[in-house]
Amino acid sequence: MFNIPQASARSGTQATKALLRRLHFYIGLFIGPFLLIAALSGVAYALTPQLENWWYADVLHTGSQGPAKPLDEQIESALKVAGPDVSISAVRPAPGVGDTTRVMIIDASHGASESRALFVDPVTAKVLGQLNVYGTSGVLPLRTAIDQFHRSLMLGDVGRLYSELAASWLWLAALGGLLIWLSHRAPVNRTGLRSLHRSMGLWLLLGLLFFSATGLTWSRYAGENIGVLRAQFGWSTPSVSTTLRPDNHSTPIDEHAEHHHDGSMVVQAKPAQASVFMQVLSAARSAGVNAGKVEIKPGRDETRAWVVSEIDRSWPTHVDAVSVDPGSLKIIDHVVFQDYPLAAKLTRWGIDAHMGVLFGWVNQLILIITGLGLVTMVTFGYLMWWRRRLSLSAQTTVIAVWRDLPVRWRLVVLILAALTGWGLPVLGVSLVLLLALDLLLTLRLHGRKVHEA
């Protein structure tokens, strides 16, 4: 067995403080680079609405004046440009004056999460341009690139581990910093890096906790556990049933559709007629789907109803949805956001706030300030470490300090670590690796002391 030394004798309170400081140091040193990347790319993502409106202005907006053409005429115009052997995956009618109608089509050349959007001037029914879009929500290329970098460094599922690692440790770093501040009784130099680091942490605490919690819902492993928990407590987001036959079942709503691109696109067995879109939309309007921003999705085959969804996620949130039988135009199911369970509403609002769309530019500004604040805090942490020129083994290690805790507190720490690692698997694995490094440093430090003695 390893002969692991105990740290110098100290009270349980002192040992707890030392444990918090050492763990906070490790998080900053090893997780800091991942937090920096996530924060900077998150700031870039928060700016995408303005960037897209500028970069894609020629297809997103039009200066044409006059009454809009019927929706079916706009769709027919798009299909003429799209060519034969294509199917419509979704249509988004122009939400307001000066906006274009978006017709999303798929063919054999498109991948499972890719489609092509044709942007139609609703006044002239002329196609202004076309772009490849991604995911079930049709995200434009610029936002897609920034989003994929933010989520996975453009490395696919393997890259997603980086963002899950950052989100898994961020809340622990934030709360640990708070506890260290509460336990600090010595006079503080308010002009030093340490004081600035602490002050910024206090001001940004709620934002950092929010980033961590909502970010984990997108993660691969922790996100699955969160999904299971929500399902067990009935917190899942309601979805409309699209069943036209008794042997079919509805698909749950994916609240993250706009922020990831691995969902399969709707593929129709037969191309839908343009006139049906207008009829289905009219039926949905009669059923109370009144938001300006809506999306019409055909059923993937003749056994499925069509779905008309509100897609305005700003405040107040408009995400009602109805399913419509395209043959009889009968309403099959209707889901109203006002009737969502509270947990589902909080999930919807949390995701939209994380993406910067809930409160418009105010939401974006808060995200940018919080993201840049996190970047500054991490930078200050590295500067403090550099100035002190401390090696990893120059301080008391986590294992040595843990052995200074009272026996019951050791067990509490172990139980909490095990439960947290089970719920957040990436944190759990990285914690094991961190403790393995800490064990090596502990043994090295003990060997140095024995040699000096």
CA dist 130 and 17 (Å) reads 59
Q: What's the angle, vertex CA 262, arms to CA 258 and CA 268, rounded to 5?
A: 90
Q: Which of 362, 266, 255 is nearest to 311 (CA)?
A: 255
Give residues with Cβ within 8 angstroms of 433, minimum separation 6: none
Q: Which of 209, 172, 125 is nearest to 424 (CA)?
A: 172
Helix (H, G, I), strand (E, B) or coil at 70: coil
The pLDDT assigned to 271 comes to: 58
Residue 371 within any structural domain of the chain: yes
pLDDT of residue 11: 62
**Could you read off the pLDDT of 241-300 as tens digits, one per residue?**
999 865 544 455 666 655 555 444 444 434 568 899 999 999 999 999 999 999 999 998
Residues 234, 221: Cα–Cα separation, whole Å: 20
**Per the domain annotation, does 364 fall within a domain?**
yes
| Banded pLDDT at 444 (limits 50, 70, 90) | confident
> Does the residue 300 lie in any domain?
no
In a domain, 306, yes or no: no
pLDDT digits (tens, 9 = 90+) for 355-409: 999 999 999 999 999 999 999 999 999 998 888 765 555 567 888 889 889 899 9
pTM of the model: 0.87
d(C-alpha 439, C-alpha 313), whole Å:
49
- Does residue 35 belong to any structural domain of this protein? yes
Would you tell me the crossing angle of helices 141-152 and 48-55 to the nearest 10 degrees? 150
Q: How does pLDDT run across 16-56, given as a tens digit for each residue?
A: 888 999 999 999 999 999 999 999 999 999 999 999 999 99
Q: What percent of the chain has pLDDT over 90?
A: 67
The pLDDT score that the predictor gives to residue 272 is 67
In a domain, 282, yes or no: no
Query: Is 229 part of any domain?
Result: no
Compute the distance between CA of residue 219 and CA of residue 415 in angstroms, rounded to an integer.
24
Number of domains in the chain: 1
Do the domain assignments include residue 332?
no
- The answer to whether 239 and 251 are in contact (CB under 8 A) is yes
What are the residue ranges of helices labelled H in 137-192?
Answer: 141-152, 160-183
Q: Provide the residue range defining the domain that includes 188.
A: 12-47+148-224+360-452
User: CA 155, CA 153: separation in Å to the nearest integer?
Assistant: 5
Residue 190 is predicted with a pLDDT of 58
Over the chain, what is the mean pLDDT? 87
Report the C-alpha gap between 17 and 179 in whole angstroms: 8
316-363 pLDDT, tens digit each: 999 999 999 999 999 999 999 999 999 899 999 999 999 999 999 999
Q: What is the dihedral of CA 175, 218, 315, 210, to 10 degrees?
A: 0
